[in-house]
Chains A and B, each alone.
Chain A
Amino acid sequence: MRRVLEGRELHKSYGAVQALKGVSLRVAQGEVVGIIGPNGAGKSTLLALLAGGTRPTRGRVTFLGSDITGWPAHRVCRLGLARTFQYPRPLASLSVLENVMVGAFARLGPLAVRQAREAAHACLQRVGLADAAGATAGELCAADRKRLELARALATGPRLLLLDELMAGLTPREVKDAMGLLLELRQDGLTLVLVEHVMEAVMAMCDRLVVLDSGCKLCEGPPARVGRDQAVIRTYLGEAYAGG
């Protein structure tokens, strides 16, 4: 299988805090990789290093054959790697449609406003936010902010999506919708890396899980095996998922 994304021995320190202590990650074309672990384990930090804009203290990141370590985020995005933020960051005074158009412009010319609008509409339709296209982004409810976050990332035309706790705070019904959408995206050929706490979703969707704890990789493997791992059960899952 073709490797699309690789992080090698990634370290990140914020002053005295070592958020990541040498984590490596490989993602193959078309794969769905889940990253799980307790709060503060370094999951969001890992995504930030992979998505550009944040330079690792040590280690390298390769995407589609290019060494993208320390690249600005917009260049990484144009290369085909998009991300969502754990705490959604809508462009508050812009409309929902305009938010997504900003993403669509990543692949369009300076005057291609009509194409951007059409592409944005298509993305909004996809995430079920089309009815709110004209609303002000800052006034969306929490679940819709997550939808918007995903639509804006999708509009940039990515090959790989990094999703940070997309399903956190959603109702079971919304989680089900989101899972359906992600499976569709996968069928379209997108590679997905998700940070999630919603274990039903993680177990059902991921080909492979990576477990982080205190900035280190605790274990890695197919969901069923990770679910039986004694160390993972102890530090994160608890008994509910023991036995797989």
Chain B
Amino acid sequence: MGERERGVGAHPAARRGPPPWTAMTGRRAGALASKALGAAGLALGAALAVLPLVSPSPYLSHLFATFWLWAAMSQAWNLVGGYAGQFSLGHAAFFGAGAYAAALAWTNGLGAAAGTALAGLAGAVLALPVGWLCFRLRGAYFVLSTLAAAEVVRLCALNLRGITGGAVGILLPPLSGGQRAACALGLALFGLATLTSALVRGARLGYRLRALREDEDAAEAAGVPALKSKLWALSLSGGLCGLAGALFCAQTSYIDPGSVFSLADVSIPAALGALLGGWGALWGPPAGAGGVVLVAEAMRVLLGRAHGLAYGLLLVLTVLLVPQGFCGLLAARRRAAGGEAGAGRP
């Protein structure tokens, strides 16, 4: 090693920047602040998680059940849209497939657990052909192809009347345990989605997905199997969306193709949560989903059923004002506050 290092000398990056002591204090203060922020966030999150489970208000439980559901959906979307940079607007396909799998299983006498497992499986398996077709395309063409894929699946559900009941939809008995049970199940699903996201992020797959997001050809040249990695991500994402579909089904006791395969009500909020909160980060999607659910709820109360408009406005504002998402903005602030200690991102 000594031989090699002699000719090379200290790296210029080491000589740049402020003297080491200022860098150290800056970094230490930043680390402390971020630790405190993290602890506060965790405590707040825990309180919010438990409160609706013990509160007597069914409205609060309902609101939180909805929030956990969309936080999980955004977390799932982020695996593909954030880590891998594959902007899908077709996640309703997996959500709807899961909802129908669960509804059909339950109306045919299968147990709650079996129906839920089938829903996850339906989403994960459906993701394979969808991904196999759509991942051939890049950029805007990919986005359009995912839209089309979800539309194809919706039309199938609409027209296979013998199995799905077509436009009439499927009515289910209400969830025993009511909104509080839905809230607990939603929390569990969100936990699973976050765990999956964290595991993927720290494993080979996470590195590969982020490499693909930056430069697909360079990643391939460095040994990243692009299609296989993306299919893994989409399948995991689709499986989680399938489970979310089952939860939605249990929560609302009624599904039809128009609601569970909806672009405006499913695909867009899933993507919007991750975009608003900060795609690519672990805590961005749930934070963004909180915003999405609150805005949708506010619009419902104020304007009746106009959350489509709200989503559109939110999307435009996000892209214009915080293209890195809320968490991206915070991270940039933190880096700026920490001085030039670490290398910042563009």
Contacts and interface: CB of A to CB of B under 8 A. Distances in A.
B210 A91 contact: yes
Interface in A88-117: 89-95, 98-99, 101-103, 105-113, 116
B320 interface: no
A152 B202 contact: no
A125 B4 contact: yes
A141 B13 CA distance: 9
Given A128-B11, A131-B13, A136-B343, A53 B210 contact: no
Contacts of A103: 222-223
Q: Mostly helix, strand, loop or mixed at chain B's interface?
A: helix
A155 B342 CA distance: 25
Contact of B221 (A77, A92, A129, A144): A77
Interface residues of A, number: 57
A40 interface: no
B58 interface: no
B223 A53 contact: no
Nearest to A157: B223
Interface stretch (B98-106, B155-163, B174-182, B211-219): B211-219
A14 B160 CA distance: 47
Contacts of B215: 89, 91-92
A128 B11 CA distance: 7
B222 A156 contact: yes
Contacts of A181: 4
A89 B218 contact: yes
Nearest to B205: A110
Contacts of B12: 141, 144
A53 B220 contact: yes
Contacts of A92: 214-215, 346
A107 to B, nearest CB: 8
Nearest to A89: B218
Q: Mostly helix, strand, loop or mixed at chain A's interface?
A: helix
Interface stretch (A15-23, A78-86, A196-204, A223-231): A78-86
A184 B11 contact: no
A128 B204 contact: no
B149 to A, nearest CB: 23
Contact of B225 (A72, A134, A141, A177): A72
29 contacts: A51-B221, A53-B221, A74-B223, A74-B225, A77-B220, A83-B221, A85-B218, A85-B221, A90-B214, A91-B214, A93-B213, A93-B346, A102-B207, A102-B208, A105-B223, A107-B223, A109-B204, A110-B203, A116-B207, A128-B5, A128-B9, A132-B14, A134-B342, A139-B344, A144-B12, A144-B13, A153-B222, A155-B222, A180-B7
Interface of A: 51, 53, 72-75, 77-78, 82-83, 85, 89-95, 98-99, 101-103, 105-113, 116, 125-126, 128-132, 134-136, 138-141, 144, 152-153, 155-156, 176-177, 180-181, 184
A-B interface, 4 closest residue pairs, ranked by CB to CB distance from nearest: A106-B223, A131-B11, A128-B8, A89-B218
